[in-house]
Amino acid sequence: MTQNLLILGGTTEASALAKLVAATGLKATFSYAGRVANPKVQPLPTREGGFGGVEGLVQYIRDHNISHVIDATHPFAAQMSWNAFEASKQTGVALAALTRPAWQPVAGDNWQVVPDMAGAIAALEGPSQRVMLALGRLHMNDFAAQPQHHYVLRLVDAPEDAPALPKHTVVVARGPFDVEGDIALFKEHDVDVVVCKNAGGTGAAAKIHAARALGLPVIMIDRPKLPARVDCATPEAVLKWVNAHPATDRGV
């Protein structure tokens, strides 16, 4: 069986991996979850949309003779990561993850770490504030449970339906962002507190550097539990892993 990679992508690191894989000439497909209206063009054959759970991913792996699955999804895309783990077990294909290191607080940071989205919502109990909600659109309406705040929402695409937040401002912008730009954004909107996920890496770090520079508190949502798998820190490490795990005919 020849090498045929399936890259589960959507992150900056996934795009860097796609570029490296394309340069090597390896056969590979890049998969987007399909939640972005205009996804970044990749130098590899690309598919968009879900697989239909574990069963659908297993079928895709078998139908397309996939030899290696690389989970380069967002650290908070836990369901996709678990689906990839289960599909790998069922098909016998090799699985590795391209994992961003989590952010760690440093001197000058004022973080309140919470375990999940519910914890972040609860942490906003209290008087009205101007809240930078740097979470994307998936969970923004959950914060209607704290309607006293004015929420600043930075989204990749303009929402089709108006957010269910009584007071809000939508900023449409695509990252990566820089520290100077985020400082200017926070000042422009008089942000009092930042709510974000511990996405890790460098591409999304500008907001926590900006919060530190301005002395703003950050409500930091911790990462969800993910399956035990091979973790690679760089695209180069992924290629090294691929070469160390030759394709087999197991399960396909």
pLDDT digits (tens, 9 = 90+) for 54-74: 999 999 999 999 999 999 998
Whole-model pTM?
Answer: 0.80
pLDDT (tens digit per residue) in 138-153: 899 999 999 999 999 9
Measure the CA–CA gap between 111 and 2, rounded to whole angstroms: 48
The tokens of 178 are what?
């820089």
DSSP per residue, 214-238: HT--EEEEPPPP----EEESSHHHH
Measure the CA–CA gap between 17 and 26, rounded to whole angstroms: 12
* Residues in CB range of 248: below 8 A, 6 or more apart: 1, 67, 92
Domains 4-101+225-244 and 111-221 share a fold: yes
Class of domain 4-101+225-244: alpha beta
Q: What is residue 56's predicted lDDT score, i.e. its pLDDT?
A: 96
Q: Tell me which residue of 242, 222, 214 sits closest to 4, measured CA to CA.
A: 242
- Return the CA Rg of the chain: 20
Class of domain 111-221: alpha beta
N residues, the chain: 252
> In angstroms, how far apart are the furthest CA atoms of the chain?
62
Domain boundaries, the chain: 4-101+225-244, 111-221
* Residues in CB range of 63: below 8 A, 6 or more apart: none
Residues of the chain short of pLDDT 50, as ranges, are: 251-252
Q: What is residue 10's predicted lDDT score, i.e. its pLDDT?
A: 83
Q: What is residue 247's predicted lDDT score, i.e. its pLDDT?
A: 72
Measure the CA–CA gap between 132 and 216, rounded to whole angstroms: 10
